[in-house]
Amino acid sequence: MVAPTPHRDRSRTWQPAPEQLLYQSYSVEEDRIRTNVHYEQPPEFFYTLTGGEWNVYSCNLWMTGARNDTESQEAKLDLMARIMDLQPGQRLLDVGCGWAGPLTYFSKRYGVRGVGLTLSPTQKRCADERIARYGADVQVIEKHWKDYQPTEPFDAIFTDEVIVHFHDLEEFFRQAWDWLRPGGVFLNKEVHFTNSRHGATMQRGDVLIHEIYGLTGNYRTIAEELSFLDRVGFQLKRIVQIPLENYLKTARRWEENLLAGRKELEALVGPEYFHRFRAYLQLTRKILRSGKITLDAIASTKMDLPGFGAAPAQQPVYEGLT
């Protein structure tokens, strides 16, 4: 008689490989290659996924009464513009600008001039097409932030769920400090762990999400991000915590858009990638309900004088988000 095979609890024995863990350090060239594992997918895939006029590939605002993708995208971008206090003629840098939807919107709606940085030649091409279509006073440059040198300072620098992919975050903050004029605004909207220990325990689903983005994940707590800003010399202006109901709705909308275009998208990227991406969206919603993360927009300013500057006037932190 053959003895029964002992039951194995795979959830307890499985461990990610070292290269699948968060917080990997790469050269500029490897970072570019890994980032483009995701962003060099056909743009039509992302346009269908995100929907709307501006193809914003990050959490949008739905709890303000938005009725469709475009309205939710514009509600989020308007909130970001208010936090940055964008004014006509100002100069804005969007690091990780995607297909230039937000940058183009800021230019047309608020009259700013702008520069966007991307690592993807496909995104650069699509961004140029969008900019020309709208006649926006912006340009997109295909360059890593470590290699970028602006020709003149910026009034504001903006990232939207981008710095989670930066291993050398404090170094990026120092670069941003150099690029800003005195008094300029630095705004980063990002997901944050609610406890640093979450980054040390990865399940299979976490690895799938990590692999979708070329293993470039560097999730942090808000405390760590604030400590970097403080060490560089930025002065905190506002922290806006965005209710996760908005991200749950955004992820649901993306899956609905994905399924509505399933036949065309499977032909475009293949059934395997389509199913992996749908699994990624479903896992994202699970994480959003787990209590492990928050979504926060952190605005800081480059102080006017070395050492200390006058505190800026404060606006209600949760304005527009209740």
Q: In the chain, which ranges are continuous DSSP H helix?
A: 10-13, 28-39, 43-50, 69-84, 101-110, 121-134, 169-179, 204-212, 222-232, 245-260, 262-269, 271-288
The residue with tokens 């699970």 is 286
Q: How far apart are CA 61 and CA 242, in angstroms?
A: 8
Q: How far apart are CA 307 and CA 315, in angstroms?
A: 24
Note the pLDDT tens digit of each residue in 97-113. 999 999 999 999 999 99
Res. 171: pLDDT tops 90: yes
pTM: 0.91
Categorize the per-residue pLDDT at 218 as very low, low, confident or very high, splitting at 50, 70 and 90.
very high
Domains of the chain: 38-302 (3.40.50.150)
Res. 282: pLDDT tops 80: yes
**Inter-residue contact 287 to 103 (CB < 8 Å):** no
* Element of type H or E holding 53: none
* Element of type H or E holding 196: none
Note the pLDDT tens digit of each residue in 110-163. 999 999 999 999 999 999 999 999 999 999 999 999 999 999 999 999 999 999
